[in-house]
Structure 1
């Protein structure tokens, strides 16, 4: 009990455990995705891979700050139990993590949009995706800059609480609420993009439902965003910030890390299918086509002979293919072929599936 007979509350360890656990899981998922693609499938990394990696890199200091910065300086305790010096340090670290959050949020959405661009190559949907990418980049830049310069001088952000310093700040509540509201609306729009394309896929109903459910898992992130929005009610005007902002820090951390995990789910399914093909009802060979390249391919034909250097002399037959984007079922219904190629070698036009496919 405190001197005023209020119970001593402490949720510091809860935040540390949740933040560290989610940080480790999201890091493992991203690194497995990258290492599998680079060292096993031997495919080039796409823009979505680079952006999700950048999101993770920014997440590392966020996780460390949650543990060694905000939690170590009173987050999760009542402010009257925290020494004055620690309150100031807590708000300093909270300022840093707020800026990182706005940047991570935009990068996370950008990674998903680049993924959509890769698996939905149609010109009409590409225009929509590019428009959304542009909006997301502007959204991220605007709120990151606003978060950095929300107070003048900047240090007034963490000295405002003691009433002994002079300065001005924008409406911090409005900044947090508007970011959360726009983010939720953008999440809903980004869910519509892939679901709108399912109508045009020639897949069995159960396959369409499976794809829809995979994308709908992302709605969990939207739910977390709504919970975070509720925690922002007393964000700027709290008289007990070290306690009230615990929920803001928690839901912000959950939102980013769960978002990273959800963004890696399609890639993780490819890896799991490769490891457990029978359990997931598909073939590992077909799944590996997800990472293949398409363009001009060479095929070796004829008999080879040894040339004395340990290398065989062979006749090389080159075929050039015209890339034609479309959507059709593979024979076993396991994949959606998103790119077709027409043989332009002059001996008839034969169609084959490129490896650029979205595994279901």
Structure 2
């Protein structure tokens, strides 16, 4: 009332009070100094309602990207599993186990997105019931852990795939180092996220300023995790490109495989966009509304990463059914010692598989030379290849 008494507006002139910027600033300052957070939110809600402020709601973005992205990723995952049963040379491995764990957690992430919107995530925080704010932050806390494990297991799945198809020893060492770094990243930041506050419950109750305890610098923690995550993505994308460029393949197949493995570039771009939204999210006092971009970019990154990890299996499946489109054999005249072994033999009794294999061979200059060839060209070789 002190602010109104000093303004040109009468206490009953709602239109004047709502449009007087100096009065609004004075009331805001008074509320910030003398009111609790709960009182401040209640005051803001009454003020906005009285003045007829528009009700903002973008919860559909949270549920849309969460549920929609999860549905697309799940379909692609099932196609991957279908490919494993359909393509004759395909086998199940640790990459399939890793991506299954990632997909299961991706479903959890999608379900939590729907629960978030049900509790008001996507709306201004002063319009949300207090117990719903606590519930939103609790779900967000769980989401942090789920996100870290999911993106990490997706990386592990891709690295396990590399181990299956690239047998060169030096490259396998690089893959194992990258895998160890990914697992270390996952364990470290799961622990940091889970123990970000003492007591732990402060992670979802601190918002009202009425609970004792302390929390880490969550903003710095988020930037550190995102920075390492992007670095690992870049390393995983770049690692196989040199080997692919030297493979004894038709240019068409090299291009197809390079595109297939480089889809991860999009995931890295999404990670960078998510990092940009983290800054806005961290400094906001209206996290339920301002945090929406950070939420849906996290969802996009998570689900696109799963789709990326499934690309090799999809490539094998498409090549199985559309060999004319996804064909392109080895380049003639570039085979190494022993590479013609079985290259002119007939097809197996199961029929020709369009899957891609690695034929383990040696030459006089290298201990191990592993050209990527069509399965049709190695059917007569006694040393079995590895399917994508």
Helix, strand or coil: the match of 2:281?
Answer: coil
Between structures 1 and 2, the one with greater strand share: 1
Given the superposition, is the C-alpha separation of residues 126 and 273 from structure 1 closer, same or farther in structure 2, using an over 3 Å criterion?
A: same
| Mapped pair 1:186 → 2:246 | no
The yes-or-no answer on 1:121 pairing with 2:161 is: no
Task: Specify whether residues 257 and 228 from structure 1 end up closer, same or farther in structure 2 by C-alpha distance, changes over 3 A only.
Answer: same
In structure 1, the residue matched to 2:275 is: 229
RMSD between superposed Cα atoms in Å:
2.7
Q: How far apart are the structure 1 equivalents of 2:242 and 2:50? A: 60
User: Which one of the candidate residues 67, 84, 95 is aligned to 1:20?
Assistant: 67
Q: Which residue of the partner structure matches residue 223 of structure 2?
A: 177
Task: Give the TM-score of the pair, scaled to structure 2.
Answer: 0.75
- CA spacing shift, 1:204–1:142, aligned 2, 3 Å: same
Query: Which consecutive unaligned segments of at least 5 residues does structure 1 have?
Result: 295-323, 342-349
Q: Decide whether aligned partners of structure 1 residues 174 and 14 sit closer, same or farther in structure 2, where only a CA change above 3 A counts.
A: same
Distance, in Å, in 1 between the alignment partners of 2:237 and 2:91 is 26
* Structural mapping, 1:42-121, within 5 Å: 43-68=90-115, 70-121=116-167
Over 3 Å counting, the alpha-carbon distance change for 1:285 and 1:2 in structure 2 is: farther
Determine if contact 1:76/1:242 at 8 Å carries over to the other structure: yes
Q: Deviations over 1:215-251 (max 9, x none)?
A: 2211000000001001110333321010111111101
Under a length normalisation based on structure 1, what TM-score does the superposition of the two structures give?
A: 0.80
- Structure showing greater Rg: 2
Aligned residues: 314
Equivalent residues of 1:329, 1:335 under 8 A apart: no
The separation in 1 between residues aligned to 2:359 and 2:260, in whole angstroms, is 25
Map of 1:1-360 to 2, 5 A cutoff? 2-38=49-85, 41=88, 43-68=90-115, 70-281=116-327, 285-288=352-355, 290=357, 326-328=369-371, 330=373, 334=374, 351=381, 354-358=384-388
Instruction: Point out the more displaced range, 204-213 or 106-115.
Output: 204-213
Residue 344 of structure 1 is matched in structure 2 by none
Greater RCO, CA 8 A, separation 6+:
2
For residues 205 and 41 of structure 1, what CA distance do their matches in structure 2 show? Answer: 25
Q: Is the 8 A contact 1:329 1:336 kept in 2?
A: no
Give 1:4 shift.
4.5
Counterpart secondary structure, 1:25: helix
The alpha carbon displacement at 1:293 in A equals 12
CA contact (8 A) 2:83 2:313 kept: no
2:50 partner SS:
coil
Distance 2:83 2:173 in 1: 31
Pairwise CA distance, 1:278: 3.0
User: Which of the pair is proportionally richer in helix?
Assistant: 2
Q: Alpha carbons of 1:121 and 1:102: their partners in 2 closer, same or farther (altered >3 Å)?
A: same
d(CA) in 2 for partners of 1:90, 1:329: 49
CA contact (8 A) 1:151 1:170 kept: yes
